[in-house]
Amino acid sequence: MAIRLGCIADDFTGATDLANNLVRAGMRVVQLIDVPAPDTETPQDADAVVIALKSRTVPAAEAVEVSLRALEWLRSAGAEQIYFKYCSTFDSTPAGNIGPVTEALMDALGTDFTVATPAFPDNGRTVFKGHLFVGDVLLAESGMRHHPLTPMTDSNLVSVLGAQTGRPVGLIDHKAVAAGPEAIEARIATLRKDGIGAAVVDAVSNDDLVRLGAAVAGLPLVTAGSGLAIGLPANWGIEPSPEAAQLPAASGHSAVVAGSVSAATNGQVRAFLDTGRPGFSVDPMRIAAGEDVAAEALAFADAHLSSEGPVLIYSTESPDAVRDVQGRLGAAEAGELVERTLARVAQGLVERGVRRLVVAGGETSGAVVQALGLTGLRIGPQIDPGVPWCAAPLAGGDTLHITLKSGNFGGPDFFTTSFDLLGNGESQ
Ligand SMILES: Nc1ncnc2c1ncn2[C@@H]1O[C@H](COP(=O)(O)OP(=O)(O)OP(=O)(O)O)[C@@H](O)[C@H]1O
Ligand SMILES: O=C(O)[C@@H](O)C(=O)CO
């Protein structure tokens, strides 16, 4: 069976976020890790396939190359429309990668126009007059200005995207979006006539996204955060259905691996430790000095993995502490050292019987999923907006329940309450 929607996500947490919104809107979704081999069969009974890449912060040429390979696979699987998913905080730099990837996909699809909106109102991301708000503040005044890899210091997305692409960038403002699909289509026609290649779209509510979804049914390519996904399944007559999110029963030990340094994850780590639960802090300077911090973390896990609840291994630190480490090691080097260590820790935890695993941070999730050799995820129930539980088969035949939490997503008690949703298996 051919798929309807083919999705390319620029990081792993973002991919599950998108898959989650598609599932909630009724689509049967398979998430694949990295571009599958050309001869990989199209998943049966899937309305959408999300290919999860780790292309957000690699050099632009690399992001373009891997995104085009993903596009080729999705087109051969029959995708009728392509969705390029990036972060709801538009994480990118003037060098890319949102602009260059968008342009390359447009060229490959032979289309002269696409839309761009990171709006995700359920998680407080709204776009008005082309400016992105995170909660009540502009993007450039949010914690994103301190992001270790993609600091966002301009909230005007028309200028942010304009700096990343050779094509003129325009705006579909809220007046058109609020007036409904026909008004949006009329605005698109005008922009196209004026030679605009990509238009940032205002959206402050789910209703806006549903109206936008209907208006872009005929575009070969849409680019967005996960929010627009709620408006697309209806274009194929698909309606929400609870069966779309069912997973097998969970069992085994629970653990949390946190490599995100975002504000929300900092709060979640603090809240977890404040309950007196066991946590081990991974120090990048000690890794850089050659100490076997992964082995220490696993020894700590050996002492604390129990039916009492999850153990936490984290590198999460305040923005000041992260800046200090980056100043001494370099941002990319520090990131890589920590990612490699946390990926080894995750492997060790699974070897020790962890079967319910929370991973925090997009880059961190990419490293962990690759180290665990997971190739595909089934998407289950939503824990918090943008974060579902997923299930993946392990080599020995067991099922791993895993959730890939975007750094800034999830409530303060996420590291404890997320496990409640899986119910009681053999042990927690
Ligand atoms: N203590 C630390 N010092 C320096 N760098 C760190 C530290 N802890 C984590 N890092 C690095 O910071 C980066 C955090 O990125 P990651 O994508 O995992 O989280 P995030 O940006 O908060 O989440 P998301 O991308 O989902 O919003 C990773 O490369 C990680 O290895
Ligand atoms: O859109 C978001 O905010 C998330 O899905 C994400 O991509 C964070 O890495």
Q: Whose CA is nearest to atom 7 of ligand 1?
A: 315
CA-CA distance, 228 to 17, in Å (whole number)?
A: 12
Angle in degrees, CA 253, 258, 262, rounded to 5: 150
Length of the chain: 428
Contact in structure between 338 and 325 (CB atoms under 8 Å)? no
Ligand 1 near 132 CB (within 6 A): no
Residues 6+ apart with CB under 8 A from 139: 89, 90, 131, 132, 133, 152, 154, 155
**C-alpha 87 – ligand 2 centre gap (Å):** 4
Ligand 1 near 3 CB (within 6 A): no
Dihedral sign for Cα 268, 270, 276, 281, please: positive
Residues 6+ apart with CB under 8 A from 111: 219, 220, 221
Ligand 1 near 341 CB (within 6 A): no
3-state class percentages of the chain: helix first, strand second, coil last, to nearest 5: 40, 20, 35
Residues 6+ apart with CB under 8 A from 112: 106, 192, 197
Which ligand number lies closest to the CA of residue 258?
1
Which ligand number lies closest to the CA of residue 360?
1
Q: pLDDT tens digits, the chain, 428 residues: what are they?
A: 689 999 999 999 999 999 999 999 999 898 999 999 888 888 878 899 999 999 999 999 999 999 999 999 999 999 999 999 999 999 999 999 999 999 999 999 999 999 999 999 999 999 999 999 999 999 999 989 988 789 999 999 999 999 999 999 999 999 999 999 999 999 999 999 999 999 999 999 999 999 999 999 999 999 999 999 999 999 999 999 888 888 889 999 999 999 999 999 999 999 999 999 999 999 999 999 999 999 999 999 999 998 778 999 999 999 999 999 999 999 989 999 999 999 999 999 999 999 999 999 988 999 999 999 998 998 999 999 999 999 999 988 899 999 999 998 999 999 999 999 987 543 33
**Secondary structure E strands in 227-367:** 253-258, 279-281, 311-314, 354-360
**C-alpha 362 – ligand 2 centre gap (Å):** 7
Which ligand number lies closest to the CA of residue 84?
2
Q: What is the DSSP letter of 145?
A: G
Superfamily of domain 5-241: Putative sugar-binding, N-terminal domain (3.40.50.10840)
Contact in structure between 132 and 116 (CB atoms under 8 Å)? no
pLDDT tens across 84-130, in order? 999 999 999 999 999 999 999 999 999 999 999 999 999 999 999 99
Contact in structure between 275 and 413 (CB atoms under 8 Å)? no
Contact in structure between 387 and 16 (CB atoms under 8 Å)? yes
Reference 369, options 68, 20, 32; nearest CA is 32
What ipTM does this complex have?
Answer: 0.96
**C-alpha 382 – ligand 2 centre gap (Å):** 15
**C-alpha 360 – ligand 1 centre gap (Å):** 9
Pick the atom of ligand 2 nearest to 386's CA: 5
* Full 3-state SS string of 208-267: HHHHHHHHCCCCCEEEECCHHHHHCHHHHCCCCCHHHHCCCCCCCEEEEEECCCCHHHHH
Ligand 1 near 142 CB (within 6 A): no
Contact in structure between 69 and 8 (CB atoms under 8 Å)? no
Q: Whose CA is nearest to atom 14 of ligand 1?
A: 260
Which ligand number lies closest to the CA of residue 268?
1
Pocket of ligand 2 (CB under 6 A): 11, 13-14, 17, 87-89, 225-226, 362, 386, 406
CA distances in angstroms from 212 to 106, 155, 270, 356, listed in the order given: 19, 21, 39, 37
CA-CA distance, 129 to 121, in Å (whole number)?
A: 15
First to last CA, the chain: 39
Ligand 1 near 364 CB (within 6 A): yes
Tell me, what's the pLDDT at 425? 43
**C-alpha 22 – ligand 2 centre gap (Å):** 15
329 strand-pairing partners: none
**C-alpha 261 – ligand 1 centre gap (Å):** 5
Ligand 1 near 334 CB (within 6 A): yes
Q: Whose CA is nearest to atom 8 of ligand 2?
A: 406
Reference 10, options 117, 83, 103, 115; nearest CA is 83
Ligand 1 near 148 CB (within 6 A): yes
Q: What is the CATH number of domain 246-422?
A: 3.40.980.20
Domains of the chain by residue range:
5-241, 246-422
